[in-house]
Amino acid sequence: MKSFIWAVSAGLIALALVVSAAHASVVIGGTRVVFPAQDGEVTVRLTNQGDGPALIEAWIDRGNPQSTPDKADAPFLITPPLFRMEAHKDQSLRIIATQAPLPTDHESLFWLNVLEVPPKPTGPQMAGKNLLQFAIRSRLKLFYRPAHLSGDPLTAPKQVTWKAVATNPGYALELHNPTPYYITFTAVALDIGDKHYVADTGMVAPLGTLRMAVKGLTQVPPTGTPVTFSTINDYGALITSKGVLSP
């Protein structure tokens, strides 16, 4: 019976991955979760804004989009992991860290999954009608943040260094993150003379390097060229900053 339940869950998750236009009734409070190690646990608020109940299942994985609750091996416990949410009600997910060892000198990245399964419509108006329903999965980044990390996560984007590198074809921006924090870029651009160039976006790991292709850039920009970029802070807000190209 248990294997059947997990098989059904896996099928629902597969549907959730391909139906991005479906509307979720259950709203998650926030766009990311920051887990301070010294706290031992965090809570995430859910709100059912729909007019009917929903079945909710939650789990955490290490980065596999195809993960299922029975195979997730992240070092966290969620309570409750499976529950019914009534219409227009709130529910808190309690996320608790286990004793599994994690790096203490930089953040670790995990993903919180919240799967919403709507109830089957009932009533005489549905009699004899075909019905197609979809489960909707929301997936949020969870940053496990060890205590006493150096620097300030709010100012980490300003510590990033930038340089231009040749690619085939064109040029890319290569950035280095010297901080122990993950940094997510939502917009990156540079202006050379009267021309505006837009780069790809992405997330750079702590102490990591990331290349972003620049659309339409066919010659190396000079040292000191300004770079304007937007990042997402701990609270989900967009922060615009400026940097310059290094040699």
**Do 149 and 206 form a contact (C-beta atoms < 8 A)?**
no
- Specify the number of domains making up the chain: 2
Residue 199, domain extent: 156-244
**Do 181 and 153 form a contact (C-beta atoms < 8 A)?**
yes
pLDDT-derived band at 22, boundaries 50, 70, 90: low
Q: How far apart are CA 160 and CA 158, in angstroms?
A: 6
Rg (CA), the chain: 22
Q: How far is CA 138 from CA 59, 82, 148, 213, 237, in A?
A: 11, 15, 31, 28, 19
Are residues 126 and 217 located together in one domain of the fold? no
Residue found under tokens 């260094």: 161
pLDDT tens for 202-229 read 999 999 999 999 999 999 999 999 999 9
Q: Amino acid identity, residue 118? A: P
The pair of three-digit structure tokens given for residue 114, joined into one six-digit string: 């919240």
Q: How far apart are CA 112 and CA 142, in angstroms?
A: 6
Q: How far apart are CA 232 and CA 118, in angstroms?
A: 31
Q: What pLDDT does residue 161 have?
A: 98
| Lowest mean per-residue pLDDT among 65-74, 115-124, 139-148 | 115-124
- The model's pTM is 0.86
pLDDT-derived band at 169, boundaries 50, 70, 90: confident
For residue 59, give every residue at least 6 positions away whose Cβ sits within 8 Å of its Cβ, in sequence order, or none. Answer: 67, 68, 69, 72, 74, 78, 81, 113
Are residues 186 and 238 located together in one domain of the fold? yes
pLDDT at residue 243 above 60? yes
Choose among 65, 22, 30, 61: nearest CA to 46: 30
Q: What pLDDT does residue 24 have?
A: 79
Q: What pLDDT does residue 17 have?
A: 43
pLDDT at residue 141 above 70? yes
Are residues 88 and 168 located together in one domain of the fold? no
Q: How far apart are CA 48 and CA 54, in angstroms?
A: 8
Are residues 23 and 132 located together in one domain of the fold? yes
Q: Average pLDDT in the 130-145 region?
A: 88
Q: How far is CA 43 from CA 78, 85, 90, 161, 246, in A?
A: 9, 16, 12, 35, 42
The pair of three-digit structure tokens given for residue 102, joined into one six-digit string: 């994690």
**Do 16 and 67 form a contact (C-beta atoms < 8 A)?**
no
Is the omega angle on the peptide bond into residue 169 within 30 degrees of 0, that is, cis? yes
Are residues 120 and 43 located together in one domain of the fold? yes
Are residues 120 and 197 located together in one domain of the fold? no
Query: Is residue 27 in some structural domain?
Result: yes
The share of the chain scoring above pLDDT 70, in percent, equals 86
| Domain end position, chosen among 120, 145, 170 | 145
